[in-house]
Amino acid sequence: MALDYRLGDTIVAPATAMGEAGVGILRLSGPRALAIARALCRRQRPWEPRRAYLQRFYDDRGGALDQGIVLYFPAPNSFTGEDVVELQGHGSPLVLQLLQQSARRLGARDARPGEFSERAFLNGRMDLAQAEGLADLIHAQSESQARAALASLEGRFSEKINELREAILQVLALCEAGLDFSEEDLGSAHRDALEQALKTSQRRLESLLQQARQGARLARGARVALIGRPNVGKSSLLNALAGRESAIVTAIAGTTRDLVREELQIGGLTVELVDTAGLQDSADPVEREGIRRSRATVASSQWVLLVADAAAGWKSDDARILAELDSQRLTIVWNKGDLVAKAPVLPEPRPQLVVSARTGAGLDALRMELQRSLGAVEAAPFSARNRHVHALEECGNALTEAATALSMGNEELLAECLRAAGASLATVTGAMDVEEILGAIFSQFCIGK
C-alpha cells in the first residue's frame, strides 16, 4: 500500500489494546491535536509540555465521560514530530470509543494502522529500520527477540548501515576525484587507495550481513512440520513438545484431518510446530484436503520431522513419504522408543533420533537437534527483516562488481557499481540523497571550487 502523505490532517486512535483494562489511552497527532484535546477537556489555560495534568474528559456536547491524565508533546519533539496529546483515562472500551467519536466531530480523523509510526518516519523522527524494529518489539515473543528489536528501535542497526554507506561514499569520492582529474596521472597511489578502501567496505559488509541474517532468523522464527503415515504418534509428539494437549490423540487412523499448530521457544528462536494429517491414500474428501494442506505445509517449512513407529519398524509407506521430501531439511524421528531396545535399521544411513512421546525420553535431544538444524540463536545484536538481508546481499553483489571494474581499470563502471551499492543500503533506512555523494567530494577534494 502506498504511503499517505496527508500530513496536514489530525489523526486520532486508541494507543492501548481493545478490551477492559486499568488504563486506556487515546492519542491525537497533528496540527489540531492540542485544540481538540483542550475542547475534550474544556480547558482554557495552556498545558505545559510533558507535564501530567489531572482532567475531566467530556464529549463534544459537554457531557462528562471520564477523568484521567493529559500529556502534551509539542512538535517537533514528539513521537510523530507533530503536536501529540495523550488522554490517559480508565480502560473502558466504551469511553474510549465515545472520546474518539467526539474527536472526529471536532475535526480529527481515525488513524490508519501504523500511521503514527509512518508519520514519525516521514517527519524524520525514525528511519525505516527503526520503525520495523518498533513493530518487531511489539510482536516479540521471547526475551531474545525483544532485546534485539529494542536495539533496532534505538538505531543500532541503522548506525551500522550508515557507517557502511559512509565508507562506500568515501570510495566513491575517491573514484569521482580520479574521473574529474582523468587528464592527470594520479599514479598507483590512487589505485591502491581505491583498492584498500573497497576491501575495507567489503569486510564491513560481510560482518554486517552475518549479523543481519542472525537478526532476521531470530525475528521471523521458523516452521517445523511433523509428517508421517497415520498412527505413528505425530500428535502425541506435538503434545509432548508443547507440554499440553493441543492435538487429539486416538488409535483411529485419520484423526488429524487439519493442521494443528503450536509455538515453542528453542534456543531463543520462536518455532511453529505443525502437526499434519497422516499421508496415505484416502477416499474421504475431507481427509484428502488435510493431506493436501500437509504437503503445502511441508513445502513452506524450514525443517521436517519424519515421524516413524519404532515398534513397527521401517515400512514401505515411510519410504514412499521420504521419497517425496527434501532429505536435506529432514530428520527421522523414531517415536514409541520405550517399546524397543534400540532404533530399527534404516535402508541407508540418515539423521535419526529415538524418542518416546509417552515417557518424554529423547525429547531434549530432539530439541537440541532442532536448534542445530534451524541455526537457532540465543541472541542477536539487532532485529532485521528478510528485505534487509536482501538489500545487503544486493550491496555485496554491487561491491563485487565494483572490484571487477577496478581490476579492469574501468573507473566509470566502478563509480556506477558503488552508486548501486549505496542505493541498496539506502533502502534499508529509507534514505536516498545524492547530495551526500557531492558533499563527500567537495569536502575532501575541493572539486568545482
User: Other C-beta atoms within 10 Å of 284: how many?
Assistant: 11
Annotated binding residue 16 = no
Annotated binding residue 187 = no
Annotated binding residue 233 = yes
Annotated binding residue 360 = no
Cα end-to-end distance, the chain, whole Å? 44
Cell (9 digits) for 449 = 571550487
Rounded Cα distance, 334 and 237, in Å: 10
Annotated binding residue 118 = no
Annotated binding residue 321 = no
Annotated binding residue 235 = yes
The type of residue at 440 is A
Annotated binding residue 125 = yes
Contact 334, 310 (CB under 8 A): yes
Annotated binding residue 10 = no
Annotated binding residue 232 = yes
Annotated binding residue 404 = no
Annotated binding residue 400 = no
Annotated binding residue 336 = no
Annotated binding residue 345 = no
Rounded Cα distance, 295 and 225, in Å: 10
Annotated binding residue 427 = no
Annotated binding residue 158 = no
Query: What pairing do the DSSP bridges indicate for beta strands 222-227 and 303-309?
Result: parallel
446 Cβ neighbours under 8 A, 6+ residues apart: none
Got the DSSP string for 279-315?
----S-HHHHHHHHHHHHHHHT-SEEEEEEETTT---
Q: Is 171 helix (H, G, I), strand (E, B) or coil?
A: helix
Cell (9 digits) for 177 = 576525484
Rounded Cα distance, 116 and 100, in Å: 16
Annotated binding residue 436 = no
297 Cβ neighbours under 8 A, 6+ residues apart: 223, 225, 259, 274, 276
User: Other C-beta atoms within 10 Å of 406: how many?
Assistant: 20
Annotated binding residue 315 = no
Whole-number Cα distances in Å, 409 to 96, 415, 422: 66, 11, 21
Annotated binding residue 327 = no
Annotated binding residue 278 = yes
Residue with cell 511453529: 272
Q: Provide the annotated binding site.
A: 27, 86, 125, 231-236, 250-256, 275-278, 356-358, 449
Binding-site residue ranges for GTP: 231-236, 250-256, 275-278, 356-358
Please give the annotated binding residues for Mg(2+), written as ranges.
235, 256
Annotated binding-site positions for (6S)-5-formyl-5,6,7,8-tetrahydrofolate: 27, 86, 125, 449
Annotated binding site for K(+): 231, 250, 252, 255
